[in-house]
Amino acid sequence: MLVNLTDLGKRYNYEWIFRNLTYTFESGTSYAILGHNGSGKSTLLTIIAGHNLESEGQLQYTFSGKTVAQDQVYRHLSLTAPYLELVEEFTLLELIDFHSRFKPLRQNLNKEQLVDRMGLQRSKNKFVKDFSSGMKQRLKLGLAIYSDSAMLLLDEPTTNLDQEGVAWYQEHVSQNKTNRLILVGSNIQHEYSFCDVQLRISDYHLLPKVR
């Protein structure tokens, strides 16, 4: 997966969140998108995911040498973030079954094997609405990391995780990096310690356009 950003900018009303962002993200590399709270990390990730629209500039996606339309890129990515909701009326096994109809699992995993990898064996028949916040976050991460997607977008991935959960995240995301484009939006070092490249979104705040 290759993602090219050219003069990308986003504003809300008259306030520019970032501007003049030209960058190339390549498969096989993990990138940390760094910045303080409110700096635009989540905004950039949602634009790349196609959940948000840029105000100016262009995005181009390439997968297996072919251009992917912006409204079709969702087929090639997984996104997890604190603001995304789970279908809480399902049990854990039902939710995995529902999810995998749209995004098959990596490594030919079945739902029981994914439950094992998430460490949620005792809760497989429990309704998601009855999960703790930490269990819900581990579930979100497990679904994203183990989906068969070329691009993995992780926004504040260890929100609500305890020390054991953070260690679980670090282990499993590192095991699933190969041949994948990973972007992590964070300002916490342990969330992006495995990343190869760092991009500071604040470097693209309020810059004048050069013609």
- The CA distance from 93 to 71, in Å, is 30
Local mean pLDDT, 10-residue blocks, the chain (211 residues): 97 92 97 93 96 96 95 95 94 97 94 97 97 97 97 97 97 95 97 97 70 44
CA 83 and chain centroid, separation: 12
Predicted local distance difference test score (pLDDT) of residue 78: 97
SS3 110: coil
Q: Report all structural domains of the chain as residue ranges with CATH numbers, in order of start.
A: 2-204 (3.40.50.300)
Would you state the structure tokens that stand for residue 102, as one six-digit string?
């749209």
Sign for the pseudo-dihedral over CA of 140, 158, 73, 178: negative
The pLDDT value recorded for residue 207 is: 47
Q: What angle do CA 147, 149, 154 make, to 5 degrees?
A: 80
Q: At what angle do helices 133-145 and 111-118 cross, to 10 degrees?
A: 130
Report the predicted TM-score, pTM, of the whole model to 2 decimal places. 0.93
Q: What is the pLDDT of residue 205?
A: 82
